[in-house]
Structure 1
Amino acid sequence: MQRHGWGGESAAIRIRAAGGVLLVAHLALVAWITLRPLDVPWQPPTNLRPFAGLRADLALGWQEAARRIAEGLALLAPLGVLLPMAGGRLDVSPLVSLVRTVMAGAMISLGIELLQTGVPGQVVDVDSLLLNTVGVAVAHVTVVPALRSRLRRRGDDRRRRAAIRTDEAAQGRTPTIPRVGIAP
């Protein structure tokens, strides 16, 4: 029997497909933003001390620090939603999902930072790694549990309605047997 609409297996396939396509598109955008060569008159040194770059930005003013923090949090934040969406699992522990997503986000951010070592005008910054990872975690915590709960309720409602229809069909009319005439 083929399922139609947003219920059942077809919904899970659609969600995974949409998550995969959006994930690839977002990673392509991130790669273009972070790995393209830049023409700059000077290049700041590599920052390998946590929060040193943020302290330097705060010394320049709160607006510069706020801009840098917002950029760092927002760059990979969509991964907090797209990675679980591409995985397509509804019945998973929230903690396991968070840890898995944050670790994947941290590894992607680390990969970007390592690739930047060979790109002119791009600098490795441990603060970017930290901010990107926190952005993934915040997006995951704020969106994914509520979305999974909603999708689970929606699936439960569909299963309940299907069970009611099945019960009604079983309790419905008694099947009739066509009359057969008596042979001569």
Structure 2
Amino acid sequence: MQRHEAGGSTANATAIDLRLRLTAGVLLAAHLLVVGWLTLSPLDLPWAAASNLTPLAGIRADLALGPLEAARRIGEGLALLAPLGVLVPLVSGRLWMSRLAEWSSLVRTTAAGTLVSLSIEMLQSGVPGRVVDVDAVLLNTLGVLIAHAAVVPALRARLRRSHTAYQGDTPRIPRVGLGPWTDVLSAVQREY
């Protein structure tokens, strides 16, 4: 736990935390708007493929297209919601956590990514030209998990270091000399 000395460093750390959380919240909202626009806008297609409700069938089909096309399609699925893995924990603003709380953060963030992905897939079922794909949910969730595991622990450690590096000016305490009663006490001790 971080200790703040008098001198306004608590207010400084709180202001930094608030700015970071607000920035992360704005970026999260902007990202979700872009994702919604990309995934829920109608497509003008003469025909659409059937829905994929068999796990990993779409990934196998992508792999059959060749390594470059498979890497592009799988990479798109992983990258679509990956920023949630970083932005959701930043919005919570907790820098100091136990190991158990860090694992809990990973689970909560992954669950949030899964719910967002499921919501997108369910909403796509009513959009012309879009189809439901269970592999998209798997790839999106895996992308959130990878982004959180790769970035958040190092980012939290860096933010903790930057918060503890400056805790305000060091208080200066003037050197205290001997009190006026020391002469009296030393004289009393000599008498005995």
User: How high is the TM-score relative to the length of structure 2?
Assistant: 0.81
Work out the percentage of aligned pairs sharing the same amino acid.
55
> What is the number of equivalent residue pairs in this alignment?
168
Equivalent residue, structure 1, for 2:160 = 152
Say which of 127, 132, 139 aligns to 1:131: 139
Distance 1:135 1:172 in 2: 58
Distance 1:40 1:71 in 2: 21
Instruction: Please give the per-residue CA displacement for 1:24-74, whole angstroms capped at 9, x wherever unaligned.
Output: 000000000000000112111100111101111222222221111000000
Distance 1:133 1:2 in 2: 44
Aligned to 1:171, the other structure's residue is in SS state: coil
Distance 2:14 2:83 in 1: 25
Equivalent AA in structure 1 for residue 46 of structure 2? P
Mapping of residues 1-184 of structure 1, within 5 Å: 3=8, 7-92=12-97, 93-159=101-167, 162=169, 165-166=170-171, 169-171=172-174
Q: CA RMSD in A?
A: 2.0
Distance 1:70 1:147 in 2: 23
Q: 1:68/1:171 Cα in 2 relative to 1: closer, same or farther (>3 Å)?
A: same
User: How high is the TM-score relative to the length of structure 1?
Assistant: 0.85
Distance 1:31 1:46 in 2: 19
**Deviation at residue 156 of structure 1 after TM alignment:** 2.0
Equivalent AA in structure 1 for residue 151 of structure 2? V
Runs of 5+ in structure 2 lacking a partner? 1-5, 178-192
